[in-house]
């Protein structure tokens, strides 16, 4: 069922030249935040529309203004705490990639661990008052890879196919070895033969196939990396989402009935599923089929139909200003539904 715009909040009208907002008489501004929150509480609703994959979620929020929707989006991007590699201790690095570049690449590797199970770094202090790294605020990974100066291993393919090409060893995230601290091995048990094997359990990168560096014969990388809890507004590596966006809900109205060939043309102008063809009724004057609105959620506000003057006069499009469709794609460390729930908690605390 197509949503009905609330005339009290104005509307967005679509014309051949673009999208125009039509202002409505605004209600008096709330005297304080309590009245504003009361309005939101009365009108607010959230409904999940689609789960395209494990890391994707589409949902709608109704009864709020754009400031609320944008605040929710920004919180999901920048204020949901996650775990990421923050401090890298480089003991030896003779590869071509510089220390700071390798450290940056490591920091951007998403970790498959629930950040809610860890504390913020800086909360725990030792007996002399200094910040202490504990198993509750730090995850330790180690990387120790080297190639022999006279490696006899099989060569990996490169652009230049030459029997004289030196051996190149690729270092992937699967080579990162998790070093459990304290009770971490109990809280995150392994279901495999060894620590860091990456086969079930433990704390691992979300993807084991991210290329970190390449080593030529005689080169070495030896380091230790500590993951800490942080938020996206401090660094993008802490952001739990790949994308978080919203759009206003389309409102489509058939002003004049559309039949037969014109109806087929209308269906082709719009995205699949927005309109459908249904048999015409007896009172439709002998027409065979007519166009009927099917799924306005699929509409991306294309104005191609306006190329036909008849369709331009028969269809009226607008957007509902207090109805938002959110699309959230998680990096993988948290499910998108959990991200939305945590964002609402943060927003509630801000209010």
Select from 236, 268, 297 the last residue of a domain.
236
Instruction: Report the C-alpha gap between 317 and 250 in whole angstroms.
Output: 7
One domain for residues 279 and 188: no
Both structure tokens of 252 = 């489509």
Cα distances (Å, whole numbers) of residue 21 to 10, 24, 151, 226, 316: 7, 9, 69, 50, 14
Mean pLDDT of 311-338: 92
Instruction: State CA 212 to chain mean position distance.
Output: 23
44 DSSP 8-state letter: -
The answer to whether position 9 is within a domain reads no
DSSP alpha helices (H): ranges in the chain? 33-43, 66-78, 99-107, 184-187, 260-269, 309-314, 336-350
Select from 188, 210, 236 the last residue of a domain.
236
Question: Could you write out the DSSP letters of every residue in 130-187?
Answer: -B---TTT-EEEEEEEE--TT--SPPPP-SS--TTPPP-EEEEGGGPEE---TTHHHH
Cα distances (Å, whole numbers) of residue 6 to 20, 23, 63, 295, 318: 16, 12, 9, 20, 12
One domain for residues 320 and 301: yes
One domain for residues 228 and 159: yes
Q: Return the number of other C-beta atoms located less than 10 Å from residue 19's C-beta.
A: 14
Region of residue 8 (phi > 0: left; psi between -120 and 50: alpha; otherwise: beta): alpha
- The CATH number covering residue 141 comes to 2.170.120.12
Contacts of 17 (CB under 8 A, 6+ apart): none
Q: Is the pLDDT of residue 14 over 70?
A: no
71 DSSP 8-state letter: H
Residue with tokens 């890298």: 88
The answer to whether position 133 is within a domain reads yes
Residue with tokens 């039949």: 259
Residue 89, pLDDT score? 96
Domain count, the chain: 2
The answer to whether position 213 is within a domain reads yes
96: domain range? 83-236
Instruction: Report the C-alpha gap between 38 and 56 in whole angstroms.
Output: 31
pLDDT tens-digit series, residues 92-143: 999 999 999 999 999 999 999 999 999 988 766 555 556 788 889 999 999 9
One domain for residues 107 and 232: yes
Residue 18, pLDDT score? 63
Residue 5, pLDDT score? 55
The answer to whether position 172 is within a domain reads yes
| Residue 81 near residue 230, CB atoms below 8 Å | yes
pLDDT tens-digit series, residues 140-199: 999 999 988 765 555 454 444 556 666 788 999 999 999 999 888 888 887 654 444 444
pLDDT tens-digit series, residues 35-93: 666 777 777 889 999 999 999 999 999 988 898 999 999 999 999 999 999 999 999 99
One domain for residues 307 and 206: no
One domain for residues 188 and 59: no
The answer to whether position 5 is within a domain reads no
One domain for residues 72 and 88: no
One domain for residues 218 and 104: yes
Element (H, E) at 58: strand 56-62
Q: Return the number of other C-beta atoms located less than 10 Å from residue 75's C-beta.
A: 23
- The CATH number covering residue 261 comes to 3.30.1360.10
One domain for residues 173 and 227: yes
The answer to whether position 11 is within a domain reads no
The answer to whether position 61 is within a domain reads yes
Bridge-based pairing state of the strands 211-215 and 275-279: unpaired
The answer to whether position 267 is within a domain reads yes
Instruction: Report the C-alpha gap between 133 and 125 in whole angstroms.
Output: 8
Radius of gyration of the chain (CA): 28
Select from 236, 261, 294 the last residue of a domain.
236
């Amino acid at each position: 069922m197509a949503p009905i715009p609330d005339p009290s909040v104005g509307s967005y009208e679509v014309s051949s030249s673009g999208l125009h907002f039509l202002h409505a008489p605004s209600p008096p501004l709330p005297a304080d935040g309590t009245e504003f929150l009361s309005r939101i509480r009365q009108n607010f609703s959230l409904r999940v529309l689609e789960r395209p994959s494990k890391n994707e979620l589409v949902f709608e929020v109704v009864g709020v203004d754009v400031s609320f929707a944008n605040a929710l989006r920004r919180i999901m991007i920048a204020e949901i705490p996650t775990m990421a590699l923050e401090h890298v201790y480089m003991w030896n690095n003779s590869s071509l990639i510089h220390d700071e570049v390798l450290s940056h690449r490591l920091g951007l590797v998403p970790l498959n661990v629930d950040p809610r199970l860890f504390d913020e770094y800086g909360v725990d202090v030792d007996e002399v008052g200094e910040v202490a790294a504990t198993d509750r605020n730090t995850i330790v990974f180690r990387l120790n890879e080297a190639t022999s100066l006279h490696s006899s291993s099989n060569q990996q393919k490169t652009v230049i196919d030459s029997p004289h090409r030196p051996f190149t060893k690729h270092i992937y995230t699967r080579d990162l070895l998790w070093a459990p601290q304290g009770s971490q091995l109990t809280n995150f048990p392994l279901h495999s033969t060894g620590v860091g094997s990456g086969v079930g359990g433990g704390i691992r990168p979300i993807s084991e196939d991210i290329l970190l560096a390449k080593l030529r014969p005689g080169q070495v990388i030896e380091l230790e990396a500590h993951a800490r809890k942080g938020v996206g507004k401090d660094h993008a590596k802490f952001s739990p989402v790949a994308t978080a966006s919203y759009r206003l809900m389309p409102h489509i109205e058939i002003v004049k009935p559309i039949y037969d060939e014109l109806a087929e043309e209308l269906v082709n102008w719009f995205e699949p599923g927005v309109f459908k063809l249904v048999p015409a009724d007896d009172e439709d004057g002998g027409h065979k089929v007519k166009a009927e609105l099917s799924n306005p959620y699929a509409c991306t506000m294309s104005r191609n139909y306006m190329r036909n003057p008849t369709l331009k006069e028969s269809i009226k499009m607008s957007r509902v200003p207090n109805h938002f469709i959110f699309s959230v794609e998680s990096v993988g460390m948290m499910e998108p539904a959990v991200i939305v729930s945590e964002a609402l908690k943060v927003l509630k605390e801000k209010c």
